[in-house]
Amino acid sequence: MLKVTNLQAKIDGKEILRGVDLEVRAGEVHAIMGPNGSGKSTLAQVLAGRENYEVTGGTVEYDGSDLLELAPEERARAGLFLAFQYPVEIPGVSNVYLLKAALNAVRKHRGEPELDAMDFLTLVKDKLKLVEISQEFLYRAVNEGFSGGEKKRNEILQMAVLEPRLAILDETDSGLDIDALKIVANGVNSLRSPDRAIIMVTHYQRLLDYIVPDFVHVLSDGRIVKSGGRELALELEERGYSWLEGDAQPAAQSGARAGAGS
Amino acid sequence: MATATHQLDALIAQEYKHGFVTDLETDTIPRGLNEDVIRLISAKKNEPEFMLEWRLAAYRHWLTMIEPNWAHVHYPPIDYQEISYYSAPKSNKDGPKSLDEVDPELLRTYEKLGIPLKEREMLAGVVAVDAVFDSVSVGTTFKKKLGEMGIIFCSFSEAVQEHPGLVRQYLGSVVPSGDNFYAALNSAVFSDGSFVYIPKGVRCPMELSTYFRINAQNTGQFERTLIIADEGAYVSYLEGCTAPMRDENQLHAAVVELIALDNARIKYSTVQNWYPGDKEGRGGIYNFVTKRGDCRGANSHISWTQVETGSAITWKYPSVLLKGDNSVGEFYSVALTNNRQQADTGTKMIHIGKNTRSTIVSKGISAGRGQNAYRGLVKVLKSADRARNYTQCDSLLLGDRCGAHTFPYIEVKNPTAKVEHEATTSRIGEDQMFYCLQRGISAEDAVSMIVNGFCKEVFKELPMEFAVEAQKLLGVSLEGSVG
Amino acid sequence: MNAIERYSADFARIENALPGSSIGWLQDARRDALSRFAERGIPTTRDENWKYTDVSSLEKRALIAAPSPDRADAATLAASIERLALAAEYHLLVFVDGRYDRDLSWLGRLPAGATISSMAEVLERDPGLLEAHFAGEIWPHGAFGWLNTALAADGAVIHLEADTVVEQPVHLLFLATGSASAVHATNLIVAGNNAKVTVIEHYAGDDGATYFTNALTHIVIGENANVAHYKLQQESAKAFHIAGIHAKQAAHGRFASHSISLGAQLARNDISTYLAAGSHCELNGLYLADGRRHVDHHTRIDHAEPDATSSEVYRGILDGGARGVFNGKVVVHQDAQHTDAKQENHNLLLSKNAEIDTKPELEIYADDVKCTHGATIGQLDDAMLFYLRSRGLDEAAARSLLIYAFAHDIIDRMALQPLRKRLERQLIERLPLGSTEVSFSELLLDGQSGTGQ
């Protein structure tokens, strides 16, 4: 589904990604871990098409087409969803309007008919239960005045409504208390399916207790330096990241293959 | 709160501590202003012809100008013929060669002010001081050491003699002689000031400092400072001011010009504590000052930090012309007005180059019957793509007879600009005071704590020694005002 | 002939044809106003209050008042009114080229203490009702205000005795057909103690007509009275529109002013209010300008007594080569303890030749006050645009949505549904809509259900 090859990117002249290799197939859940500043969020933003980042090398193939050629909205319509680390507040635009506009844009792209107001509300109400958000939330401005936990749940709500093919969760666990974390994890798990893939970007392994990944990758200094299974996350929890930082260079290639292969 | 208010009042009422007069023999020319006076000043300073011409042109222009009246300040008309335009301590005709030749009385004055002028006292310090007493510069410390690095730090008069080329190239290039009424007057009659040149790539290793003092009666002080930071240079410059207590008002009309070339940085800090006048508003300095920095080069950076606690009237807008691409201008200000003091101060940030950024943080404190106005201009010209400005103006009111005013002008002609302005007004809350008192903090300490907290964003921009002085000064200026 | 001479000649020509010309006090007031105008003349950019607004282009046209303008074709007028009326149940007073037209107007049932009529009619029937309000000194006047007092031929009078409540909004529709090149209109709104009324002052002109509207509205708000005022300016694209709206609020009086500026080549609004103890005012404004238009709002709020509150929000969207000016002044007088004043001005610059000059001012002479103001100038936020696009909206739609939301903040503050709908439609017509299939009409419904929650 997604094939990232030697991806390099910089922002304001500063090199952040220095050759990331990653392959994700349908049905898989990948966790990308790494210390602060390793480039995790940059990778997520670059995949979603944030224009502040300049891609300086490498390729990204998504469902057989060149992802980097697509505008952010084209990526979204093609089923790529980014749950933002810091969801943006948009005063004056109601949540429900954004949801509906987004859903109909995606449906139109898929060649499906647009939902009318009734069908749409029925669908959304169903999803609201999943993330335990009350209906009045829909009529508030997008993320405005939401608590940290509410913003993250709102991201998962959008994801549940849009039903993406590839969901990238950028530090979705940060700032969540344990109850909110469970709700978010529950929402994500309910979306797991054989034709859908999920990439979780996270600093802590805590989230992985609730959303169990098939693969774990460690990103350090703009490269994936180690890949493995679930047990790698536990090892990181125990040993921290520093033991990996030394051997960034040689591990990168084999790590990526391990992630893509098994 | 009644107790608190009472204590507040007591604290505000404190007296000016630098109000002594130094008994010195001075060489003062008679009052009045005409072309002959200007020729006399120029001759006394043995100036080259171009300086005299420059002064005379400024004077002739000044005659055609009208005193500005738009500021939010009120004062009786100034009789410019009643002022003496030159006063100097009488000493060796050629002026002191070293500090040992300076009148010991004068040195004692600076000691009283806490300015360690003597080099031997300075050895432990990191500050080079140029002191301007009334109209002339009385000594510059650490000159030799700086000279070895190619740094020129001397009195303006000396610069005219020793470095006429630099003076001629840069004088009036930021503040033209006809820029405004007071700048024109200054250009005509300025007697001394400081001159700084930092050569390419040199980072000035110590803070440079000028201490200004008005001593003589009926004199005006018109000093002129010119600082040039050549490509890649850095300098931090400090300026302090005091004056004795006198019943009449004295005029101080200074001009400061800063020039930063490519990648250069100038940090200019002022602690202004001119005599503010007494409680009834008698006496005090009229501080009408033009300060402007020119970020001429790409990536240049000029920041103004000022703590204004003195003067009867302050009229002052340290500004930055952001010409170079990616240049940065900053203005951090604390202005305090107590009793009958009036301040109309602020800044102008003129965005000309691309990616230019400016920050303005202004903290006004009004007590007694003080009137405190922030007046600022943020102007983004069509050429200034992606210019950014952030302005924050906060006022703190201590007492119900004072005033706090905000007059920000924002003019934007480029759609990629982002400008934000915020202003708030508040007073020391009853709950804040009670909280402190309940924790056993005296009302005086509580106010000083809260006021210092209010000013923190500005103080942190000051060099350490100055920050301490500024905090003390603020406490002193507020004494009797706060509870 | 300079402006002073021209307007003086204009005055001499029409003075005797003005309504109430035989009433002594009115004649004195008009002459006094003209001489005060003549003392100062037309302002120039050297005047601090007109620093950013140059009216010399208006003066070059030398537009003068017509004593009795030609009647426009009745069918055309009826069609215009049909198009511009807001709701059938609203009281409607139609002024054609500044003169009240009884036949085109519609007044519903009014309570006993209410007089709603035209200036000319009131001067005929009950001139005493107006005398006190013509004493020049009680109102802030600029040059155009004095000119208005001297030359105004008509306007609306809304006079409510104490405790009188007018349920339905009063819609004052000023239609310019272009046949009179200068229209000076004076409106007076007086709400006695506990009285309540909503007024819509609406200026519209035939496309392409060049004319000058000089309007002046005085609003007297009694104790505990409540006046909501909506000003909707959609003059022709070539018109000059200069207007003053000045209110005085007695203790606990409430005043809401909404100023929407959409038309005219040059529009200037001076809006002021004077707050007595415990009163509250809300000043909101939205200005949209493109082409070479110039739109200027000057507002002034005087907190004269304790415990009053004010809240002001103005938003502007400037496109093409338009220039916007905002000057908001809040003065807190010495006795006005416990004042709470908030002011905001936000501007979007959408094109490289658009320009904004803003000056939010505070003058404070009391200490126990809470005053804040903020001003921003910028573009649409990149992070917001990206967020919307990452959810599948194309760029044009995302931009439209953000512009709409930016402006809608002001519309959201309005209580009148028909007016809100009208404005929302007009706003949408101006947006660079994208290819997204989601229509903005749905957004409107959502917006309403949102506010209804």
- Are the CB atoms for A173 and A183 separated by under 8 Å? no
Chain B neighbours (≥3 Cβ pairs under 8 A) are: C
Report the pLDDT value the prediction gives residue B106, as an integer from 0 to 100.
54
Whole-number Cα distances in Å, B157 to B129, B450, C219: 16, 44, 64
Report the pLDDT value the prediction gives residue C446, as an integer from 0 to 100.
42
Residues in Cβ contact with B440 at an 8 Å cutoff, skipping those fewer than 6 apart: none
Cα gap B373→C395, rounded to integer Å:
44
Would an 8 Å CB–CB cutoff place C45 in contact with chain B? no
Q: Which of B403, B418, B422 sits opposite C374 (nearest CB)?
A: B422
Adjacent-strand bridge partners of B307: B271, B334
- Are the CB atoms for B318 and B290 separated by under 8 Å? no
Classify residue B142 as left (phi > 0), alpha (psi -120 to 50) or beta. Answer: left
Whole-number Cα distances in Å, B176 to B54, B70, B80, B254, B291: 10, 21, 21, 13, 12
Q: Is A179 helix (H, G, I), strand (E, B) or coil?
A: helix
Q: Provide the Cα torsion B379, B385, B390, B393; round to 10°.
A: 10
- Are the CB atoms for B186 and B253 separated by under 8 Å? yes
CB atoms within 10 A of CB B70: 9
- Are the CB atoms for B266 and B279 separated by under 8 Å? no
Q: Mean of the per-residue pLDDT values for chain C?
A: 90
Q: Is C79 helix (H, G, I), strand (E, B) or coil?
A: helix
pLDDT averaged per 10 residues in sequence order, chain B, 483 residues: 43 56 65 86 89 92 88 83 73 47 56 48 44 55 78 87 92 90 90 90 85 58 90 90 62 91 94 78 83 96 90 89 96 88 91 96 89 93 95 89 91 94 84 72 76 84 74 70 50
Q: How far is C343 from chain B (nearest CA, A)?
A: 10
Q: Report CA torsion sign: A109, A113, A114, A119.
A: negative
- Are the CB atoms for B50 and B168 separated by under 8 Å? yes
Count interface pairs A-C at CB distance under 8 A: 108
A with B: touching (≥3 Cβ pairs within 8 Å): no
Length of chain A: 262
Report the pLDDT value the prediction gives residue B30, as an integer from 0 to 100.
76
Report the pLDDT value the prediction gives residue B124, as an integer from 0 to 100.
32
End-to-end CA distance of chain B: 9
Report the pLDDT value the prediction gives residue C452, as an integer from 0 to 100.
32
Cα gap B448→B12, rounded to integer Å:
11
Residues in Cβ contact with B64 at an 8 Å cutoff, skipping those fewer than 6 apart: none
Report pLDDT digits (tens) over B179-231: 899 999 999 988 888 899 999 999 988 778 776 665 555 556 788 999 999 99
Report pLDDT digits (tens) over B41-87: 888 888 999 999 999 999 999 999 988 888 888 888 888 888 878 77
Interface with C, mutate which of A88, A114, A115 (most C CBs under 10 A): A88
Q: Is A5 helix (H, G, I), strand (E, B) or coil?
A: strand
Cα gap A104→A98, rounded to integer Å:
10
Written as six digits, the tokens of B185 are 């007057």
- Are the CB atoms for C109 and C89 separated by under 8 Å? no
CB burial of B245-282 (b: ≥16 within 10 Å; e: otherwise) equals bbeebbbbbbbbbbbbbbbbbbbbbbbbbbbbbbeebe
Report the pLDDT value the prediction gives residue C218, as an integer from 0 to 100.
95
Report pLDDT digits (tens) over A122-162: 899 989 988 888 888 888 888 888 888 889 999 999 999 99
Cα gap B187→B155, rounded to integer Å:
16
Q: Report the candidate in A222, A232, A221 with the shortest Cα–Cα distance to residue A258.
A: A232
Cα gap C364→C336, rounded to integer Å:
9
End-to-end CA distance of chain C: 61
Would an 8 Å CB–CB cutoff place C380 in contact with chain B? no
C381 vs A contacts (CB less than 8 Å): 88
Cα gap B52→A246, rounded to integer Å:
69
Task: Say which residue the tokens 């509580």 belong to.
Answer: B446
Classify residue B471 as left (phi > 0), alpha (psi -120 to 50) or beta. Answer: alpha
Report the pLDDT value the prediction gives residue C372, as an integer from 0 to 100.
92
- Residue A138 is classified by DSSP as G
Report the pLDDT value the prediction gives residue C438, as an integer from 0 to 100.
45
Would an 8 Å CB–CB cutoff place B401 in contact with chain C? yes
Q: Report the candidate in B102, B107, B106, B105 with the shortest Cα–Cα distance to residue B91.
A: B102
Domain boundaries, chain B: 2-477
**Percent of chain B beyond pLDDT 90?**
34
Q: Which of B398, B411, B424 sits opposite C372 (nearest CB)?
A: B424
CB within 8 Å: C359 and B410: yes
Q: Which of C384, C389, C445 sits opposite A90 (nearest CB)?
A: C384
Adjacent-strand bridge partners of B444: none
Report pLDDT digits (tens) over A194-216: 999 999 999 888 889 899 999 99
Locate the chain B residue with the closest alpha carbon to C378. Answer: B418
Interface with B, mutate which of C344, C362, C368 (most B CBs under 10 A): C362
CB atoms within 10 A of CB A240: 11
Q: Is B277 helix (H, G, I), strand (E, B) or coil?
A: coil
Chain C neighbours (≥3 Cβ pairs under 8 A) are: A, B
Angle at the Cα of C281 (from C277 to C287), degrees rounded to 5? 155
- Are the CB atoms for A62 and A19 separated by under 8 Å? no
CB within 8 Å: A101 and C397: yes
CB within 8 Å: C364 and B395: yes
- Residue type at position B361: V
